[in-house]
């Protein structure tokens, strides 16, 4: 009886839905909000236990991190620490991860991350690695999509404000970095007023090792002292080229909001990196001294190493004739985007309120015809009409970034008019527009920076949130909005909060990643110098005033769990191995008085923290992750005696010394 009633009720409900929805949809009026909201809810609903269809990696911006979400649910799965210390993961706190945050300026505890980009094979995202740039202390990081951990960070010398970064070419040959602030190159003491003509803009091409993903600076172009804002690789027919927007071609050094907006046109710099590669093979460029960090994580040693590199290959544009051109583009463009065919290069003219669309085919012809309009510091400026495919006039206010679908459409964000505009690239016709809440920056279509966008969803990342969520004091979360773009009209499905400020994101189908993610670290492959493979190997060794504890953890105890002989003034190293070999069984460890309050250790991994006891007494440590029914029993004690005491080192588990035969 109950079920019959229920199904009648549902039937009535769905009838109301159809009736109320149909007429208003035709009119496109606002009154159908409730009905549409119901429809949208269905489209983003991922039932308990079900998986999302896509991963989305959203930049953390000023948090220096990278956040992993599911689409279409908008659920947050993980925050991957990259350029910032993260207490949740102990990243930048454990002894093993501290080297990851070393730079030429010393240890930098947090950064400003901007543009994630997934590695590609044959023009499609391949789900091997994701890269992200740091803006403030110029760096690029590579994150493994097996472990979802940062594996490598390379610093970019001679650069300042690493913004047009970290975009990947279509076979992950290179990843680029550019300088947003031109600076003396190399750095030196000089008057700021002498900037013009004397500052330079470093544009850096970093080679990616195809097997391991390791990054190494191949060459650095010493470009004129403009500001380089954003970039994208050519693809398909324009593979081999890279495009960068520039602003401040005025080379102003003060009150930039006025002085860097004088020229009617700035440029897109087109760089033929394949040609430069050839020049380099033939000996072009000159090795210059430089100081930059290269930090690499070793998954078997469970440890990062930090090295300082000492030189970089620098190329002056005059050394590579025919490889670099400037394309005049409407005033102070921000985004620089290339469509999936590689034919259209789009400058998003944030001040001009227009989109400049250049044609790659025309550009090549213009180069052949030498259709130049003078030069800038020796770099030929191509004639605007000779390269321009067209202008999309006044599609909105403040165009910032563009992504693409596979059907010839572009989607551009408009910061000032707070909307996403869909337009056909070939026809230069606006097809649809949708309000966003509010002031959108980047947008992301999974695979949107590739030849093969996966064009069901679009995520708009908004800068201003105001009233969209429950207020949380003066600082509110920033907001992303999910659209369904599979139909003619964009449909807003979902708002979800983000961490930090999501400058750009990268997305990929879940199947590309989910079946190959790592579940555990194999104990047999653990080569950490203080790893223990079983409890019998656990021990405590004194070396002068250093005490090294090789400790193990397994459900539900530490070995050893009673330690004596530690003295005030000692430096105690806890090298802790999680002996578990099951998925999702981490243990944590926390020691009262330690500056590193807590470590979470994955199965098979060894991690280290230090403790300098200041007071005599008997001090407990405990497991911080609720690992079993006896989690609360997972604890131990350390006796701390006064400086100069002669209590010998001893360590036991249930009264026995680990590894010694019981009598
Ligand atoms: Cu437009 Cu850093 Cu890509 Cu932010 S940047 S929006
Ligand atoms: Cu181990 Cu809780």
Residue the block writes with tokens 């980009």: 117
Expressed in angstroms and rounded, the spacing between residue 629 Cα and the centre of ligand 2 is 9
Beta-bridged to residue 132, according to DSSP, are 141
DSSP 295-357: EEEETTTTEEEEEEEEEEEEE-GGGSTTSEEEEEEESS---EEE-TTS-EEEEEETTTTEEEE
End-to-end CA distance of the chain: 72
Expressed in angstroms and rounded, the spacing between residue 488 Cα and the centre of ligand 2 is 53
Q: How confident is the model at residue 289, as a pLDDT?
A: 97
Expressed in angstroms and rounded, the spacing between residue 441 Cα and the centre of ligand 1 is 6
Locate the ligand 1 atom nearest the alpha carbon of residue 230 and give its number: 3
Q: How confident is the model at residue 662, as a pLDDT?
A: 55
Expressed in angstroms and rounded, the spacing between residue 589 Cα and the centre of ligand 2 is 8
- Candidates 436, 360, 427; CA nearest to 400 is 436
The bound ligand whose nearest atom lies closest to the alpha carbon of 586 is 2
Q: Is the dihedral of CA 98, 103, 107, 110 positive or negative?
A: negative
Q: Cα–Cα distance between 175 and 115 in angstroms, integer?
A: 12
For residue 557 and ligand 2, the question of a CB distance below 6 A is answered with: no
Expressed in angstroms and rounded, the spacing between residue 163 Cα and the centre of ligand 1 is 8
Expressed in angstroms and rounded, the spacing between residue 622 Cα and the centre of ligand 2 is 8
Residue of the CA atom closest to atom 5 of ligand 1: 503
Expressed in angstroms and rounded, the spacing between residue 383 Cα and the centre of ligand 1 is 28
SS3 367: helix
DSSP 41-56: HHHH---TT---SEEE
Locate the ligand 2 atom nearest the alpha carbon of residue 632 and give its number: 2
Locate the ligand 1 atom nearest the alpha carbon of residue 501 and give its number: 4
Residue of the CA atom closest to atom 1 of ligand 2: 587
Q: How confident is the model at residue 19, as a pLDDT?
A: 32
Break the chain down into helix, strand, coil percent, rounded to 5: 15, 45, 40
Residue of the CA atom closest to atom 6 of ligand 1: 441
Expressed in angstroms and rounded, the spacing between residue 634 Cα and the centre of ligand 2 is 6
> What residues contact 63, with CB distance under 8 A and at least 6 apart?
79, 84, 110, 113, 499, 500, 501
For residue 552, give both structure tokens. Answer: 């193990």
Q: Is the dihedral of CA 487, 490, 494, 496 positive or negative?
A: positive
For residue 624, give both structure tokens. Answer: 């911080």
For residue 601 and ligand 2, the question of a CB distance below 6 A is answered with: no
- 615-645 burial, b at 16+ Cβ within 10 Å, e below that, comes to eeeebebbbbbebeeebeebbbebbbbeeee
Look up the pTM and report it. Answer: 0.93
Residue of the CA atom closest to atom 4 of ligand 1: 503
For residue 235 and ligand 2, the question of a CB distance below 6 A is answered with: no
Q: How confident is the model at residue 37, as a pLDDT?
A: 64
Give the single-character DSSP code of 464: -
Beta-bridged to residue 124, according to DSSP, are 121
Q: Which helix (H) or strand (E) holds 380?
A: strand 379-382
Q: How confident is the model at residue 349, as a pLDDT?
A: 87
For residue 451 and ligand 1, the question of a CB distance below 6 A is answered with: no
The bound ligand whose nearest atom lies closest to the alpha carbon of 502 is 1
Residues of the chain whose pLDDT is less than 50? 1-32, 663
> What residues contact 361, with CB distance under 8 A and at least 6 apart?
237, 343
């Amino acid at each position: 009886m109950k079920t019959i009633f229920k199904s009648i009720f549902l039937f009535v409900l769905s009838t109301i839905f159809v009736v109320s929805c149909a007429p208003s949809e035709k009119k496109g009026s606002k009154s159908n909000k409730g009905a549409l909201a119901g429809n949208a809810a269905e489209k983003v609903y991922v039932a308990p236990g079900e998986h999302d269809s896509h991963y989305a990696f959203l930049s953390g911006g000023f948090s220096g991190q990278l956040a992993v979400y599911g689409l279409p649910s908008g659920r947050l799965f993980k925050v991957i620490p990259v350029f910032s210390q993260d207490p949740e993961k102990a990243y930048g706190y454990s002894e093993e991860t501290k080297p990851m945050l070393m730079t030429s300026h010393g240890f930098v505890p947090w950064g400003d991350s901007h543009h994630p980009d997934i590695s590609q094979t044959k023009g499609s995202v391949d789900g091997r690695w994701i890269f992200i740039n740091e803006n403030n202390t110029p760096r690029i990081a590579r994150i493994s999509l097996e472990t979802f951990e940062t594996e490598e960070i390379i610093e970019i010398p001679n650069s300042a404000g690493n913004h047009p970064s970290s975009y990947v070419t279509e076979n992950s040959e290179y990843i680029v970095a550019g300088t947003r602030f031109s600076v003396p190159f190399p750095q030196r003491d000089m008057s700021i007023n002498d900037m013009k003509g004397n500052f330079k803009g470093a544009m850096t091409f970093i080679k990616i090792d195809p097997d391991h993903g390791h990054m190494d600076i191949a060459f650095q172009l010493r470009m004129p002292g403009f500001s380089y804002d954003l970039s994208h690789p050519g693809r398909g027919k324009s593979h081999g080229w890279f495009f960068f927007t520039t602003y401040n071609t005025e080379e102003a050094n003060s009150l930039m909001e006025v002085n860097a907006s004088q020229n009617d046109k700035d440029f897109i710099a087109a760089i033929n990196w394949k040609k430069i590669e050839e020049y380099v093979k033939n000996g072009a460029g000159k090795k210059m001294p430089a100081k930059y960090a290269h930090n690499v994580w070793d998954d078997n040693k469970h440890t990062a190493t930090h090295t300082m590199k000492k030189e970089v290959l620098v190329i002056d544009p005059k050394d590579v004739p025919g490889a670099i051109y400037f394309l005049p583009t409407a005033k102070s463009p921000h985004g620089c985007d290339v469509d999936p065919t590689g034919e259209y290069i789009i400058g998003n003219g944030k001040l001009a309120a227009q989109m400049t669309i250049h044609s790659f085919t025309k550009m090549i012809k213009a180069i052949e015809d030498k259709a130049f309009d003078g030069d800038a510091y020796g770099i030929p400026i191509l004639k605007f009409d000779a390269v321009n495919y067209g202008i999309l006039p006044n599609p909105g206010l403040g165009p910032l970034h563009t992504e693409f679908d596979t059907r010839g459409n572009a989607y551009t964000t408009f910061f000032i008019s707070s909307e996403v505009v869909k337009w056909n690239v070939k026809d230069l016709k606006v097809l649809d527009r949708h309000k966003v809440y509010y002031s959108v920056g980047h947008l992301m279509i999974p695979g949107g920076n590739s030849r093969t966008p996966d064009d069901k969803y679009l995520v708009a990342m908004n800068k201003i949130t105001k009233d969209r969520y429950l207020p949380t004091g003066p600082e509110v979360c920033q907001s992303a909005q999910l659209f369904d773009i599979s139909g003619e009209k964009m449909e807003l499905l979902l708002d979800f909060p983000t961490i930090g400020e999501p400058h750009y994101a990268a997305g990929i189908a879940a199947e590309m990643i989910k079946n190959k993610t790592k579940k555990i670290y194999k104990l047999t492959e653990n080569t950490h110098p203080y790893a223990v493979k079983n409890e019998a190997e656990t021990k405590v060794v004194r070396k002068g005033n250093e005490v090294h504890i090789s400790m193990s953890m397994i459900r539900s105890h530490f070995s050893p769990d009673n330690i004596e002989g530690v003295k005030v003034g000692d430096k105690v190293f806890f090298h802790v191995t999680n002996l578990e070999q099951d998925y999702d069984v981490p243990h944590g460890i926390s020691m009262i008085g330690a500056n590193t309050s807590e470590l979470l250790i994955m199965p098979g991994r060894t991690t280290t923290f230090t403790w300098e006891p200041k007071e005599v007494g008997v001090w407990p440590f405990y497991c911080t992750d609720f690992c079993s029914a006896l989690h609360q029993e997972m604890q131990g004690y350390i006796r701390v005696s006064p400086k100069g005491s002669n209590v010998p080192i001893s360590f036991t588990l249930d009264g026995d010394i680990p590894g010694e035969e019981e009598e």
